[in-house]
Amino acid sequence: MAHILTDENFDAEVLQSDLPVLVDFWAPWCGPCQMMGPIIEQLATEYEGKVKVGKIDVQDYTEQAQTYGVMGIPAFKIFKNGEVVEEIVGAVPADKIRTALDKHIAA
């Protein structure tokens, strides 16, 4: 299951994570975000132990969206060692996110 991220726990859960982190910047009123929800949950299960998956509601937690320049949602950012290493914007097939994640998993 995806971790619920907030402005308060973002540093600990994402920036200080030993694993790469896929962050889903989303909002409840966003149709494409809702469409991607089950895909993100599936990826969280699939990559358990290899990648941390988290969701942050940009409506409730604006600070991180501003910090990371999120202009449109859904936006997916992969963090590794506290840095954004990959970005995907919009509703995309699960395989596009898988391909991005696979590049950043330690061999």
Domain count, the chain: 1
Instruction: With respect to residue 43, please indicate whether it lies within any of the assigned structural domains.
Output: yes
Structural domain of 3: 1-17+37-69
Helix (H, G, I), strand (E, B) or coil at 49: coil
1: closest CA among 50, 61, 42, 58? 42
Kindly give the confidence (pLDDT) of every residue in the chain, 107 residues in length, as a single tens digit, with 9 standing for 90 and above: 999 999 999 999 999 999 999 999 999 999 999 999 999 999 999 999 999 999 999 999 999 999 999 999 999 999 999 999 999 999 999 999 999 999 999 65
The verdict on whether omega for the bond into residue 38 sits within 30 degrees of 0, i.e. cis, is no
Known active-site residue 78: no
Name the catalytic one among 14, 22, 23, 33.
33
Is 33 assigned a catalytic role?
A: yes
The 10s digit of each residue's pLDDT in 33-61 is 999 999 999 999 999 999 999 999 999 99
As a whole number of angstroms, the distance between CA 99 and CA 97 comes to 5
In a domain, 86, yes or no: no
The CATH number of residue 48's host domain is 3.40.30.10
| 103: helix, strand or coil | helix
Predicted confidence at residue 106, as pLDDT, reads 65
Residue 91 within a domain = no
Residue 64 lies in a domain: yes
E strand intervals along 1-107: 3-5, 21-26, 52-57, 75-80, 83-89
Catalytic residue among 2, 21, 22, 30: 30
89 falls within a domain: no
**Mean residue pLDDT across the chain:** 96
Reported pTM: 0.96
